[in-house]
A and B are shown apart, each in its own frame.
Chain A
Amino acid sequence: MRRAADAALPYATLVAMTTAIYMVFIFVPTDRFQGIVQRIFYFHVPLAIMTFVAFGTVAAASILFLWRGTRAWDRVAHAAAEIGMLFCTLVLVTGPIWAKPVWGTWWTWDARLTTTLILWLIYAAYLMLRSFSGTTDQGARYAAILGIVGALDIPIINRSVYWWRTIHPAVLVTREGSSGLADARMQATLGLSFLAFFLLFLWLLWVRHENLRLGDEVDALRRQALIHP
């Protein structure tokens, strides 16, 4: 199983991502209203979806870790959190870069953007908690608790921010309008791009998880070496 993943994932990701890049830059037609910049959308949206999927993974792995106690689940949660944080950062970077030329402003407090910002803060808290509690079993448990509470909180946060926004007059037209993908080529590009980022997520998750597993193995060997010098 390990060998298969090791071999297949990088190449699958490479193929999918290369195809996606080709489609985004060459295949897909330019949006009539937003121009070339709209192409950022084809990376921005899959990244956004994947960062929430990543947090879901953190939560699921956290529950499994607290329930079963197997270290592997803790590693999955940790890896997923790092990658989710990376993707979240990319969403928050590409979003404003896209927004500035299209809407004239770097940032709006619209519901989705704000929720993503709070998600970023929760990721940051998770990773800091990990780093401040070390590699002990206890630290893993703390992180798991945060993962579960965070995941339950995200929908509530989203709802509250959404209600908050719909009270004030909208600063700009909401982004709902721009996801009207009439053209089939645009839909295909988005779909393939999503596949590419899904594979990228799995590959990074795999690499980081291996990384953590090797780290655990080193620790175990070190402890053994101390006992039999």
Chain B
Amino acid sequence: MFALIRKDLQIEFRTKETLAALLLLGLLTLVVLSFAFDPTSELRAEAAPGALWVAVIFAGVLGLSRSFLAERDNDCLHGLLLCPVDRGTIYLAKTAANVLFMMAAQAVIVPIFVFFFNLPLSAALGGVVLSLALGILGFASIGTLFAAIAVRTRAREVMLPLLLVPLAVPIFIAGVRVTGRVLAGKPLAEVAEWLNLMLGFDVIFLVVGWLVFEYAVEE
């Protein structure tokens, strides 16, 4: 499985296209959302977590669809399926690679987010990173599964957001809640139930994805 992850990372390092796209799209989303609010208004601080997570979802959908686009265009998926590897393992490897890509993009986006929205650069960052990690893991777990499906349907650019956004609602709501509380200086214990929800989501859908992925890539 690590070989598979390494393969995806190697492919990415050669062109860095996906990472660049993820970064720029995330950034653009933050900029555009900033225009939605009066720079002096208090609403900005309240809306900030929402803006961050919209950027995560929006850029994430793009990154996810790209992860299978390359496979499909070069028919690599067939080659991959011929390997004596458990389908579930392929799924976990793809998911892990996607998580790494999205987290890497966030490493740049989060500081810029802090600048744009004038947020306190305190120990809160740990909580924000935790919520991002849990959220992105959950998002990638269903995202990888449905990206594999969407890439083989007729309207593939449209299909993935259509499938993903409603299903990812709990992640989005939880992520925004936790990020908001943490940035307001509250301790993590206060958002424990949200973190549990995200964790539960992650576990459930990683297991389901692992079980069901073979049906998604069967010929």
Contacts and interface: CB of A to CB of B under 8 A. Distances in A.
On whether A and B touch (CB less than 8 Å), the answer reads yes
Interface of A: 66, 118, 121-122, 124-125, 128-129, 132-134, 138-139, 141-142, 144-146, 148-150, 152-153, 156-157, 159-161, 163-164, 167
Task: Describe A's contact surface by its main secondary structure.
Answer: helix
B170 to A, nearest CB: 4
Pairs A-B, 7 closest by C-beta atoms? A160-B170, A121-B166, A132-B153, A132-B154, A160-B173, A142-B149, A156-B170
Contacts of A124: 162
A129 B170 contact: no
Contacts, number: 88
Task: Describe B's contact surface by its main secondary structure.
Answer: helix
Interface stretch (B69-77, B108-116, B117-125, B199-207): B199-207
Nearest to B219: A138
B212 interface: yes
Contacts of B162: 124-125, 128
A129 B167 CA distance: 14
A124 B166 CA distance: 10
Contacts of A132: 153-155, 159
A148 B218 contact: no
Q: Identify which of A134, A152, A159, A160 gathers the most chain B CB atoms within 10 Å of its CB.
A: A160
A139 to B, nearest CB: 8
A145 B215 contact: yes
Contacts of B200: 156
B105 interface: no
B163 interface: yes
B43 to A, nearest CB: 15
Contacts of B142: 149
B174 interface: yes
A129 B208 CA distance: 19
13 contacts: A66-B215, A121-B165, A122-B167, A125-B163, A129-B149, A141-B218, A148-B208, A149-B145, A149-B167, A157-B166, A161-B169, A163-B193, A164-B177
B152 interface: yes
Interface in B133-172: 142, 145-146, 149, 152-155, 159, 162-163, 165-167, 169-170
B169 A149 contact: no
A129 B218 contact: no
A145 B145 contact: yes
B57 to A, nearest CB: 14
B174 A160 contact: yes
A66 B173 CA distance: 31
Given A141-B216, A142-B149, A157-B169, A163 B194 contact: yes
A163 B178 CA distance: 12
Nearest to A134: B154
